């Protein structure tokens, strides 16, 4: 699932909540419109209700894929077992940028004018 660029640099606790809420509602709508997909994924109607309300499904975590903006819903146990840098660090600004950088006119302004790891041709939403 793709996370729009305006969510990429969200602050840690409140930002993750807004990112996950957006993704949960979007996935919930897709599953609500496609009961066969819900069934194929082994999710319940209660899971879909939680998603539509923006709540996480127990036992699942949103993973920030290394591809810009790509998010994956994965089992929490698997996500916790595998040590990884993750896309939140790669394209989500990393801890330093999320706490000290800021968005200016839709573009990211980097501390000390250091563009870090963000290519000029990164995807735009």
Q: Note the residue count of the chain.
A: 125
Q: Express as a percent the part of the chain with pLDDT over 70.
A: 62
Longest dimension (CA), the chain: 51
Mean pLDDT in residue range 7-35: 86
User: Residue 107: is it exposed, middle or buried by C-beta count within 10 angstroms (0-12/13-18/19+)?
Assistant: exposed
Residue 76 Cα distances to 63, 73, 121, angstroms: 9, 9, 32
pLDDT score recorded for residue 40: 94
Residue 82 Cα distances to 16, 68, 75, 78, 111, angstroms: 20, 20, 11, 6, 30
On the question of pLDDT at 112 being above 60, the answer is: no
Q: What band does 82 get if pLDDT is binned at 50, 70 and 90?
A: confident
pLDDT score recorded for residue 27: 96
Better-predicted residue by pLDDT, 58 or 69: 58
Mean pLDDT in residue range 31-41: 94
């Amino acid at each position: 699932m793709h996370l729009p660029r305006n969510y990429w640099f969200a602050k840690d606790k409140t930002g993750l909540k807004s990112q996950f809420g957006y993704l949960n509602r979007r996935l919930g709508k897709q599953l609500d419109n496609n009961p066969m997909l819900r069934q194929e994924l082994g999710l319940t109607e209660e899971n879909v209700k939680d998603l539509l309300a923006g709540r996480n499904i127990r036992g699942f975590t949103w993973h920030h894929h290394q591809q810009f903006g790509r998010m994956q819903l994965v089992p929490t146990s698997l996500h916790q077992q595998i040590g990884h840098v993750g896309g939140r660090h790669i394209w989500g600004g990393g801890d330093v940028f999320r706490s000290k950088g800021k968005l200016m006119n839709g573009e990211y302004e980097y501390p000390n004018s250091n563009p870090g790891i963000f290519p000029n041709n990164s995807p735009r939403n």
